[in-house]
A and B are shown apart, each in its own frame.
Chain A
Amino acid sequence: MVTFLFYVFAAVAVGGAIGVVISRSPVGSLLSMIATLGSMAAIFVLLEAHFLAAIQIIVYAGAIMVLFLFVIMLLNLGHDYQKDLKVGAFSLVSFATVGAMAYVLSRQLGAADLSDSGPGAAAIDAAIAQHGVVGAIAQPLYTTYVVPFEITGILLLVAIVGALVLAKKNVA
């Protein structure tokens, strides 16, 4: 059942990803992206990363994608439908490169001998049993990774200020 669900969501995710690349309209791309993100959230659940699945939906699909959507609508893009795919030699070379990358990755994955679950899964299960789904991730976040966590806060603050300065209309 889990495997079946995984393949279903995987198919949706890949389809969405292809949609992102080939859709002419930015809005189409965006919607395909949301489909991909949603199915990835489902796969996160299957991989027992429940908290991340929730965040994926709330932050990515919810906040970030809506931000993109706002920008697209603000700039009034998507009406021109003009062809912006690069064609010709460059795209051929791009495909070749990407093919090479796929080859490298598949070769690596084929060579790798990965069992279905390792010690990590047991540890995660134990943490969830002890602290609950949120607590399991919050525990290391506020102890071991507290300094990067705080720095992330500063990064977000800087990003806010930066975005404001950049996007503000030049009054002068």
Chain B
Amino acid sequence: MITEALVLSAFLFVIGTLGVLVRRNAIIMFLCIELQLNAVNLSFVAFSRLHGMDGQIFVFFVMTVAAAEAAVGLAIIISIFRHYKTVDVGNFKLLRW
């Protein structure tokens, strides 16, 4: 079942990547990033079947970081929205040359 789990993880990661690439809604991009994180989590859990508990510990840390990231990221989205009245990343072009 480890192989299957890894294949599923790959599927989810690819779909998440696709989402980050093609969506312009900041919140959905963010969701897709969470999806990628989850795909990686799944890999870790699968590998923990081979190498022991450390993989699960790592997933624990990933979740904590994801929580922190979500808090800060959403705060940023809120402050951006206050400014631009939109969350479409196509409008945020300050970094453009």
Do A and B touch directly, given a CB cutoff of 8 Å in the complex? yes
Which bucket holds chain B's interface residue count?
35 or more
* Residues of chain A with a CB closer than 8 A to B72's CB: 159, 162-163, 166
> Which A-chain residue is minimally distant from B2 (CB atoms)?
A114
How many of A's residues come within 8 Å of B, CB to CB?
Answer: 85
Tell yes or no: A89 within 8 A of B by CB: no
A148 touches B21 (CB 8 A): no
Contacts of B61 in A (CB 8 A): 148, 152
Q: Which residues of B contact A129 (CB under 8 A)?
A: none
- Main secondary structure, interface of A, reads helix
Q: List 29 A-B contacts (CB under 8 A).
A: A14-B11, A14-B12, A20-B35, A29-B27, A30-B31, A47-B46, A60-B38, A74-B78, A75-B78, A84-B24, A84-B28, A85-B24, A86-B23, A94-B21, A101-B17, A102-B14, A105-B10, A105-B13, A120-B49, A120-B50, A120-B53, A124-B52, A127-B53, A136-B53, A140-B53, A140-B57, A141-B60, A158-B68, A167-B79
